[in-house]
Amino acid sequence: MIKKVWYESVKVFLKISLNFYANKIKIYGRENIPKKGAILFAINHPNALMDPLFVTSFNPRENHFLVRADVFKKPLIRKALASLNLMPIYRIRDGRKQLSNNEEVFKKCFNILERKETLIIFPQGGHSRDRNIKPLSKGFTRIVFGALEENQDLEISVIPVGITYQNSSTYPCKVSVKFGEAIDAKHILNSNPKPKAINILKSDVSTQLKKLTVHIPDDENYKTILQKLNNANVDFTEVDKVNKMIAENSFPKAVKKPIHLLKPLFYLILLNSIFPYLLWKKMSKNIGEIEFVDTLKYGINVVSFPIFYGLQAFIVHFFLGWKIAAIYYLVSFLLVFVYTKFSVTNTEN
């Protein structure tokens, strides 16, 4: 009960804080999520830990996650992530000896599905900011079919989820989360030899993901198509519209990036948040992969802004009283919210 309250409290906090970080959050297909029963959500992975945060915060079910093991290195972080249903998955790059730990992880996943709960997995096997779906690994099929083989009465829905960013690693971001149609994994396994069932499930998930997020085929035309879309400043979160442009090879004319009228407000917020900004600049030097820029930036902001504004409000009350200090505290957050929601969000180049 306590863990449930903790999980739901964190989920509410995430939903609120993500709205201070994202210009727009578009959620589609929630009606495709069964209210009961085992579900495996198969998600593309362009933006490190931001992806599961957006997906689970606006998902009515309580979720368990498989996340790359190197995130769990520090004991305090490991404990915090475990309390929110995150579990490590080991890859070859973590060391071949570590791969044996996945057997225990898979057993935990089987138990989660057997309890008719939900599991979030990134079937591409790693993150990538490329605007396409990479070939899927068969690890997620091993979990799904393994759980079905252990419990023949179990039914599992596999729901592909496409997440698309207008400008990942840039604040404020704009994001689309599209829940696809449920795939009956039990029917696939019972109707085919297992090797064929694995390929069918991988193919069905991949086909949906290519429709649920922007997919530019990974060939010699990829960079040219991406450049045309960027030059036209298209809204990538309008996934169906952009995929139609790609399929028809028909792109809008290049446009000038709109003028950022709220830029002065950004500098006012920056001045009012100078220490969180300096903390971010210092810690950002240690980022090894660009996909983790957003994760670290969001993590620092969501912790440091309330603390820093609180300290400044405490100082203000000595000079102007608690009423003015409270107004200052609330206005500080209001300015961030206004800038986040009304800023112009351009494409990346």
How many structural domains is the chain composed of? 3
**146 part of a folded domain:** yes
* Candidate from 143-147, 251-255, 327-331 with smallest mean pLDDT: 251-255
The 10s digit of each residue's pLDDT in 189-228 is 999 999 999 999 999 999 999 999 999 999 999 999 999 9
**62 part of a folded domain:** yes
**317 part of a folded domain:** yes
**347 part of a folded domain:** no
Do 249 and 268 lie in a common domain?
no
Q: Are the C-beta atoms of residues 304 and 279 closer than 8 Å to each other?
A: yes
Do 96 and 149 lie in a common domain?
yes
Q: What is the pLDDT of residue 247?
A: 96
**334 part of a folded domain:** yes
**184 part of a folded domain:** yes
The 10s digit of each residue's pLDDT in 148-162 is 999 989 999 999 999
Do 207 and 71 lie in a common domain?
yes
Considering the entire predicted model, what is its pTM?
A: 0.91
The 10s digit of each residue's pLDDT in 66-114 is 877 777 777 777 777 777 788 887 766 666 666 667 788 889 999 999 9
Do 301 and 236 lie in a common domain?
no
Do 239 and 268 lie in a common domain?
no
More confident site: 349 or 330: 330
Do 101 and 206 lie in a common domain?
yes
Instruction: Grade residue 349 by pLDDT with cuts at 50, 70 and 90.
Output: very low
Dihedral sign from CA coordinates of 197, 203, 208, 213: positive
Task: Give the pair of three-digit tokens for residue 114.
Answer: 């057997």
Do 248 and 129 lie in a common domain?
no
Q: Cα separation of 171 and 169, whole Å?
A: 7
Q: Cα separation of 144 and 336, whole Å?
A: 43
Q: What is the pLDDT of residue 94?
A: 63
Do 58 and 195 lie in a common domain?
yes
Do 59 and 9 lie in a common domain?
yes
How much of the chain exceeds pLDDT 90, in percent? 68
Do 153 and 15 lie in a common domain?
yes
To the nearest whole number, what is the mean pLDDT of the chain? 90
What does DSSP say about strands 86-89 and 22-28: parallel, antiparallel, or unpaired? unpaired
Do 127 and 25 lie in a common domain?
yes
**155 part of a folded domain:** yes
Coil, helix or strand for 75?
A: helix
Domain extent at residue 243: 222-255
- Domain end point (choices 212, 245, 274): 212
* Candidate from 87-101, 177-191, 322-336 with smallest mean pLDDT: 87-101
Please give the average per-residue pLDDT across 53-77, as a whole number. Answer: 83
Do 133 and 45 lie in a common domain?
yes
CATH number for 111 = 3.40.1130.10
**217 part of a folded domain:** no
The 10s digit of each residue's pLDDT in 256-296 is 877 788 889 999 999 999 999 999 999 888 887 787 888 88
Strands (DSSP E) contained in the chain are 22-28, 38-43, 63-68, 86-89, 118-121, 156-165, 173-179, 183-184
